[in-house]
Amino acid sequence: MSIKLVVLYPQPVDEAVFERVYHDQHMPLMRSLITPASRIRTYRVRMPNGAPFYRMAEVDFDDLGALEAFAGSEGGQSARESANRASTGGETRILICEEA
């Protein structure tokens, strides 16, 4: 059963700074930590009246065991720290979604 890790980034204090850190530092780190079997997709949130979140990322894992192994690893800790450093508008929100 497929598992998806969804990371929600709040509206940043400065969009240009967020985008620079996100693309130049955070995403290269994530690509180095995630196996080729785990796909990463990122989105900018677009809503007519604004949204509490600015960006969203999805990371696919084969199963809950693979996600838990990543989350409990040193790399998983580095990923969380990097995401929170990039997120100048507050802490990221994490969702774990199971395909139903």
> Which residues sit opposite 4 in a β-bridge?
60, 97
Segments making up each domain of the chain, as ranges: 3-98
User: Which CATH number is 3-98's, of 3.40.50.620, 3.40.50.150, 3.30.300.30, 3.30.70.100?
Assistant: 3.30.70.100
pLDDT in tens, 34-46: 877 678 999 999 8
Three-state SS for 48?
Answer: coil
Q: 17 with 88: CB under 8 angstroms?
A: yes
pTM of the predicted model as reported, rounded to 2 decimal places: 0.88
pLDDT in tens, 8-19: 999 999 999 999
- Is the per-residue pLDDT at 1 higher than 70? no
The CA distances from residue 17 to 31, 59, 93, in Å, are 20, 23, 20
Q: pLDDT at position 36, please? A: 73
Q: pLDDT at position 14, please? A: 93
pLDDT in tens, 77-90: 999 999 999 998 99
